[in-house]
Amino acid sequence: MDKQKLIINGGRKIEGELSLHGAKNAALPILAATVLIKDGESVIHNCPRLTDVDAALRILSHIGVKCRRSGSTVISDACAIGNCEIPVRLMREMRSSIVFLGSVLGRTGHCRMSYPGGCELGPRPIDLHLSALRSMGAVIEETHGFLDCSAPKGLNGTEISLSFPSVGATENIMLAAVTANGVTVVEGAAKEPEITDLAGFLTACGAQISGAGTDRIVIRGKEKLCGAEHSVMPDRIAAVTYMCCAAVTGGELILSGADIGHIGAVVPVFKEMGCRVYSFGKDSIYIKAPERLKAPHTIRTMPYPYFPTDAQAPLMAVCTVADGTAVFVENIFDNRYRHVSELLRMGAKIKTEGRVAVVQGVRRLSAAELVSPDLRGGAALVIAALCAEGTSTIVGISHIDRGYEAIEKSLYSVGADIRRI
């Protein structure tokens, strides 16, 4: 357990303006994609300062990519990669490290890595990744927790039909296919904005990709990609999280550098709870909460463009103090109600059974000493602590640092009584 903790005195309204950082879930595959660039530097703007991003940069450095950071910009040079093996200690730092499989295999024809780490959200099998790469000609041996992958005859384009729109599998296929021989067609592809952002970077580098953002992506392989400049999309889950902070405290918040189109399934939930939400200008979202929120009806997590699983825990924290009863159905991951036991310690009324959680709103929560169970569960505890009576302590905040850039500084700037010690 990390030694740092957050101290939050509840009862302060969140009011003011915040600038969103770049999306973790877009930055990571884009950084992995820089491995494929043989000619020139990749310049990635709006790259967030997160521990997951730091882990990705360590992986890049280990395999021979020269990386340097200047503020929110990362510049990488992958012209001379000398290592295609990623050690266990680096793989364990984040689950998304599996995305390096497609890019390293595509670049070098070989890759050896252990199974990835990250949040423990129940089984997240990588079978879709492996079967897709095998269909492209990869030979993959799985022994003692390691993946030994090679492409003795090169990777070849093919038609791949995904049984589930896995974001990670879609990304790995794209990364492997952009320099493969021939045309790869992905049916049942993930449609998340982060997929579109990855395609945008690869296209800027010279890749030929069409259909990103739909369930059918076509990739025409090219022998060589060149360096390009790209700005990472805003973090839509961070946007939802900070909107939850405003909502739960009866506050009023402007998020700049945000795209309301990325959270189209979440905005109606805030409105149902009584919040005013709208976009203005090119990239700003406004939210104003009522004095007492109304509980929304059933919230079901589903792949994009429906309600995102990453927003489930933050919204549940808001619902603990809403008037009425809300029902959550988690359809994406098992073991994603680990934050519930901590919310119960604050006086929340929540019952869970399998994939279903029923939240009966209470008037107020009480402060408590809390343990962050994972990234989004930790964010949920921050949200709950902001509206609780008294002073809450949250430990295990390394989970939160994986996806939120200095969350305490952001919230302090808009009125929260929060500090890190």
- 319 flagged as catalytic: no
CA angle 29, 269, 247 (to 5 degrees): 90
Pairing of strands 356-360, 349-353: antiparallel
Is the sign of the CA dihedral 195, 379, 271, 246 positive or negative?
A: negative
Look at the chain and count its residues: 421
- Catalytic residue, from 119, 244, 319, 387: name it: 119
Pairing of strands 391-395, 369-371: parallel
> Could you give the CA distance from residue 2 to residue 368 in angstroms, rounded to a whole number?
19
Active site residues: 119
